[in-house]
Structure 1
Amino acid sequence: MNSTTISGIKESRLHIPKHFTIVLLISVILLILCVVASLAFGSRIVGVSHVLDGLFHADINSYEANVVRKRISRTLFSLLCGAALGVSGALMQAVTRNPIADPSILGVNTGASLFVVCGIAFFNISTANEYIPLALVGAALTALFVFGIGSMGRSGATPLKLVLAGAATSAALSSLVMAIMIPQSHVMDQFRFWQVGSVGSGNWSSISTFLPFLLIGIIIALISSPALNALALGDEVASGLGVRTGVLRLTAALGAVLLCGAATALAGPIGFIGLLSTHVMRLLLGPDLRFVIPMSAIAGAVILTVSDVSGRIIGSPGELEVGVVTAFIGAPILILLTMKSKVRSL
């Protein structure tokens, strides 16, 4: 039975990719292991039995069980931010047809950072609820600017031009961030902890603030995925199939900005999650975004949580912020992907 998407495409029955069940099962197992590791490791390591006590036995009031309960909000926040960044990366790669698109590579995170530091310096903002609108506006304007610059010329928005435009924009905005921050010591003190990228400040308040943006962004991504599959064939083919390419790009980009902007506002600019999670799932499942997008959410949650746990283990008894860990892992992989793909379009 055929169903009609909002883009006007007639979709035939869903073809499940080969090995999808195996990939899903392994991903869920890894997700569970990440949750257990995140609850167990920190400045004090607790055993699996204490993790289970903290989760399922409210009557147990031991020190270890209380430690586990305090780590639940951080773990959930890490999972949600990773899922948001994973889906955002998948949307950005689909919209730009750029296999190495990522919020950090295209300068979107830096745009959010600039607006946040301006808010701290000029409007004395200090809470997550105040960071979010500024980060969303900064991310959206930067995405539009980079895509506009990358679209100039006869060949349009090629992957190479988008990456170069993103790199140049990110460098320019980073200079503006430093110019605003350095003369004002109170701004530097407040901003530098946020700028590194960390999920350590995740609490139930930030989770409740983040959830609406996450849900809206993921709904947009899932609804847009069939039309984005057609867009991968080229604008002319997609238009022939009934896709309104301009509306589709705007809608999908809005979903990507909501996801990465809200995550950046609350956790700081964490890079490479969208790049890594989407590439892993596309490698395992193929190009169908109806499967790649939801599985990128799981992969992003796993990668970010593993990075957070690794930072706690490496930096023990303190911790190494997750933004540093993801950059350390992601930068070499980005170089390898660039060399392998030669920055070809999807």
Structure 2
Amino acid sequence: MLSRPSPRGRAPAVRPAPGQEEGRSRRSTAAARGGGLLLGVALLAAVILAGLAIGTKQIPADQVWSALFHPSGTANDAIVQRLRLPRALIGVAAGAALGLAGAVMQTLTRNPLADPGLLGVNAGASAAVVTAISVFGMTSFTGYLWFALAGAAVAATLVNALGGSRSATPVRLALAGTAVNAALFGYINGLQLLDLGTLDSMRHWSIGTLAGRELGLLVTVLPLLAAGGLLALALARPLGALALGEEAARGLGARPGRTRALSIVAITLLCGAATAVCGPISFVGLLVPHAVRPFSGPDPRWLLPYCALYAPVLLLGSDVIGRVVIPPYEIEVGIVTAFIGGLIFINLVRQRRVARL
């Protein structure tokens, strides 16, 4: 017996299986996130070009290209190669380091207001630099570099020890970091008040700037930045498990104590090296993870690469803005990032886009 055709002569629609719908959704999300990374690369290239072309003297894009790849010894070649290119490269490296350190810190502590300074890295670096200036008479940025790195490492180690080392909890780390920060900044302020020469020298470093930094400083700290960046990216999966809680992380095969200790090492290398070269720059490590999380999602495997791309965009963009606001003078990038970062962060909070961790 023949079956009746459907009323309209059409075969019934076949719905995809739930597994197929889930697979399509995952592929679509991955494609969108991949597109966001490509956009980050394009924006980073644009701000690098802007940083090479814009300043007290405007240089056309074709002359920037010629200075980079076909130099002829002109004044524009010298400006691009000796002044603006080192500034741009240091900005890329420092911005990526601060963005990665901020994302790792917020994921590690499950605290949306955490930034690398919570571990005492900035305070430790500043305390070491002020000691170098006041006690040892240090005057060069190269000398500041090693003192800042050592101070950052000592402060982070102290916070980790006070927080319980491998048994530390996010709350204990935050409390230990707050206490160490308060003590170190009290020491810094006291030493500056006792020695006005130290205060005058310290303000040039502590304001946070990319100007006047030689490429040799970046070459010196590049191994530390590379080691910290690779370690942070390698910890993406265990950090994602740790964000679910201690018990869930252990159930997924992660080792919370080891992950926490290695994360602190990565943060210290990244933020300590960036702070040593540029001085303490605020809001980059705090803001960028919040700004990109609606697009990258909370998974550190996506969040960390997003932060590594978009943090240099914020830092270099702020540096370019600081050059053009009140020409022929420049506003230091640390001031601009604090102002822009504050405005953007307030906007994110008002729109309730700050993701819960």
Q: Is the 8 A contact 1:132 1:261 kept in 2?
A: no
The one-character-per-residue Cα deviations of 1:275-305 (angstroms, maximum 9, x if unpaired) are 2222222221111111211221111111100
TM-score under structure 1 length normalisation: 0.85
Aligned to 2:21: none
The one-character-per-residue Cα deviations of 1:119-176 (angstroms, maximum 9, x if unpaired) are 221123334444344323433444455567778xxx9534xx8667656654543332
Given candidates 301, 306, 324, the residue that maps to 2:312 is 301
Shift of 1:243: 1.6
Unaligned runs of 5+ in 2: 1-25
CA distance in 2, matches of 1:344, 1:74: 33
Deviates more, 1:132-141 or 1:189-198: 132-141
CA distance in 2, matches of 1:336, 1:162: 28
Given candidates 13, 20, 24, the residue that maps to 2:37 is 24
The one-character-per-residue Cα deviations of 1:217-275 (angstroms, maximum 9, x if unpaired) are 01111111110010011011111222221111010111111110111111100011112
Aligned to 2:302: 291
Unaligned runs of 5+ in 1: 1-13
CA distance in 2, matches of 1:338, 1:167: 23
Residue 194 of structure 1 pairs with residue 211 of structure 2: no
Q: Is the 8 A contact 1:18 1:285 kept in 2?
A: no
Residue 74 of structure 1 pairs with residue 118 of structure 2: no
Matched AA of 2:61: V
Matched AA of 2:134: A
Given candidates 157, 173, 194, the residue that maps to 1:183 is 194
Matched position secondary structure for 1:113: helix
- The 5-angstrom pairing of residues 6-21 of structure 1 reads 17-21=30-34
CA distance in 2, matches of 1:317, 1:164: 44
Shift of 1:341: 7.0
Deviates more, 1:265-274 or 1:64-73: 64-73
CA distance in 1, matches of 2:154, 2:340: 28
Matched position secondary structure for 2:94: helix
CA distance in 2, matches of 1:277, 1:333: 10
Matched position secondary structure for 1:38: helix
Aligned to 1:6: none
Residue 203 of structure 1 pairs with residue 225 of structure 2: no
CA distance in 1, matches of 2:349, 2:257: 28
Aligned to 1:11: none
TM-score under structure 2 length normalisation: 0.82
Which of structures 1 and 2 has the larger relative contact order (alpha carbons within 8 angstroms, sep 6+)?
1
- The 5-angstrom pairing of residues 47-62 of structure 1 reads 47-58=60-71, 60-62=72-74
Q: Is the 8 A contact 2:116 2:285 kept in 1?
A: yes
The one-character-per-residue Cα deviations of 1:155-212 (angstroms, maximum 9, x if unpaired) are 9534xx8667656654543332121022223322221100100011222211101211
Q: Is the 8 A contact 2:127 2:185 kept in 1?
A: yes
Aligned to 1:263: 274
Given candidates 67, 71, 75, the residue that maps to 1:63 is 75
When residues 17 and 149 of structure 1 are mapped into structure 2, their CA distance, relative to the original with a 3 A threshold, is farther
Aligned to 2:17: none
Cα root mean square deviation, aligned: 2.8
Aligned to 1:125: 138
Shift of 1:332: 3.8
When residues 28 and 75 of structure 1 are mapped into structure 2, their CA distance, relative to the original with a 3 A threshold, is same
Aligned-residue identity in percent:
40
Matched AA of 2:262: T
Matched AA of 2:115: D
CA distance in 1, matches of 2:326, 2:162: 41
CA distance in 1, matches of 2:225, 2:160: 23
CA distance in 2, matches of 1:169, 1:206: 28
Shift of 1:38: 0.3
Deviates more, 1:246-255 or 1:169-178: 169-178
Q: Which has the larger radius of gyration?
A: 2
Matched AA of 1:207: L
Q: Is the 8 A contact 2:290 2:354 kept in 1?
A: no
Shift of 1:345: 5.9
When residues 162 and 334 of structure 1 are mapped into structure 2, their CA distance, relative to the original with a 3 A threshold, is farther
Shift of 1:331: 2.6
